[in-house]
Amino acid sequence: MFVLVVYDVPADRTSIYRKLLRKRLNHIQYSVFYGDLTPGQLEDVKHDIESKLIPEDSIIIFEADAVGFVDHTTYGDTDDPDSRFT
């Protein structure tokens, strides 16, 4: 399953989610992660997020059955998605 996770959290909390999401997903931009996960792995990510969540945090998880259903276009000065923030 293809997963895209974006978050908007207070600055002092970004490292919490960055560390959590880097375990299983590719870091494409500062608060954007993506990758292929099994349903079990996705449930683990959701559980981990819920355990860290406070009212000021905003996290959105987009899911698609397969990466083939998701197209993307990149504009501007950017590297390939897998090469950033590694």
pLDDT in tens, 44-83: 999 999 999 999 999 999 999 876 777 777 788 766 555 5
Q: In this model, does residue 33 exceed pLDDT 80?
A: yes
CB atoms inside a 10 Å sphere around CB 5: 24
Q: In this model, does residue 15 exceed pLDDT 70?
A: yes
Q: What angle do CA 14, 16, 21 make, to 5 degrees?
A: 95
Q: Where are the domains of the chain?
A: 2-66
Provide the whole-model pTM.
Answer: 0.84
Averaged pLDDT, 22-38: 94
Under CATH, what is the fold of the domain 2-66? Alpha-Beta Plaits (3.30.70)
